[in-house]
Structure 1
Amino acid sequence: MKKLLSTLLALLFAAGIFAQNQNDGQKNGSQNQSIVYFTRDVSSAGLMKVYRALKQKIEGNVGIKVSFGGPDEEVLQPDLLRDLVRTTGGTMFDGNGLSGNRRTSEMNLSYARRHGFMEIGKCVMVSDSDYINLPLTGGNLLKYARTGKEFAGFDTLISVFRVRLHMLPAFDGNIKNISLCLANRSGKCIIHSGGTDESHYHSTPADVLEKSFADAAKAALDYKKNWAFINVLDDIEPNDSCRGAKNLGKIGIIASNDIVALEQCTLDFVIEKTDVDNATKSEWKAAHCTGMVEQLEKLGGGTRNYRLVELK
């Protein structure tokens, strides 16, 4: 019964988002809108449905940016990527953490194996010692972002992430996936320090973190032009202290060529249309640094104005 109620909630929830954005589209017009494709089918076939709608041109080597996760971590289910990896011939890749169980490539690849990613296809880590800087002009705080040399070898990029709002301090979506999660260890120090330190972790204020995430994401977008973005919105149990947070069930999968539009749509699904008061929504946004979406829009990384298209 609990599972049925969760599924019904997700369906009603998604329908409300879809109707609202249809109304917004009629009211605001289609000018400067980005399309976000949506399916309720959380499966490998469903993921391929929204990905194909993007009509991304596959050129050269394909890199699929994912998170291999750590111990006891809620990660993307590898089976969702099976058809995508087979169709594109893509290599799944990730970046090392600063400490703990994900601080080396060997450790991370052991989790890639344990979580089942290696059963789907090739997995690599971006290098900590052999790195490249991704230049940025006109950023908030950073002059460049940093990742491993492997990133330079990809011509076509697909970023796939399982969204986890009430899990970590920073909004866990695609902006984070191509900024902090794309960075190697020194690149993570650069982001966390607001561009002032390449060697040490810093606990930064929310506004600094939002700007740094946006800067690093814009650097990645500028360095590689051929991107596609996919967010998986499925069964995540909140584990933070945000009041009113609850499991929204399997909402679906969304995809866009515009990362800002995708992230705004995600926030609309997991915050704006939830059954809590405005004060609570504001608390959630502040707690999870969701301002990074607006910051990336200001840098020219995309638009928050979108039209949601449901694929049956």
Structure 2
Amino acid sequence: MQIKDFDYYLPEELIAQEPEPRRDESRLMVLPKNGGAPEHKLFKDIVEYIDARDVLVINNTRVIPARLWGEKEGTGTTIEVLLLTRRGEHTWEVLVRPGRRVPPGTGIIFGEELRGTVEAVADEGCRIIKFQYEGIFEQILDRLGVMPLPPYIKKQPADPNRYQTVYARRPGSAAAPTAGLHFTPELLKTIKDNGTQIVTVLLHVGLGTFRPVKVDDITRHRMHAEYFEITPETARVINETRGRGGRVIAVGTTTTRCLETAGREDGTVQPGSGWTDIFIYPGYTFRVIDGLITNFHLPRSTLLMMVSALAGRERMLEAYAEAVRKRYRFFSFGDAMLII
């Protein structure tokens, strides 16, 4: 299976640069995974497609201000650092630019409060940095860091919370689980009032979610591991839902990766925590999820491959072509799709 099989034409003006004024008034394409024409709705209409038998699973990770700018000790060269994964109390795996300028032993100064030392080169050209500081790291990061928006978004949103879900709780992500950005507290309450259970998982979004595929044969691509947790209560609700014939609807590809990692052969979910490098592409048999809420993804991305595994590659590319014709908004601040 070739990377070119997941390419599509996208006019640049359809890449959303800012969110809709109201979260739940983004557009929603409803795509029946087993055939039939897509429907075109607003996101708040999603209540029409979820019922009391179902369970909605959300990822409650919270984006940290993970982008830092510092100066290389001794030369003053500007160094950009993107925090990816905490590896210890003072140690993080990071991306750096320019990477060739920061071999092990390099010191980086981030102002008077924070200093880092490159300890090692990790997989995919990442670095391991040990930070030195006084006080609470998260508070220092709030003062020095910037929200790590994707490079195709040219300016920070007026309200930084628009790059957080309304249910974000657990800090640790380098990117937002963007399918969840469309929910409002009122919409979640309506879904609950209709009898649908809502449960949470955790997957801290790191390099694995947005790292580009650099090989022609996608089966040779290897995902970067990301940390996840599933509580016993979440597993119980999901397993009971499946046992009575209800559907498991995942909010986002991160939630999907979490659930499919923990899924058993019989479709039940095992509670626990750990690291997942699962790569889902066409040919994969889903164990847990029955439906998926997701945004429109980049060409040639692992996220497009995942949704193609659920609905079929040709069908997904046809849906994307229709989204282009109908002027849907794409990527992180764009519109949504429900595959059901």
TM range (shorter): under 0.3
Structure 1 length-normalised TM: 0.27
Point out the structure with the larger strand share: 2
TM-score by length of 2: 0.25
Q: If you compute each CA radius of gyration, which structure gives the higher value, 1 or 2?
A: 2
Higher helix share: 1
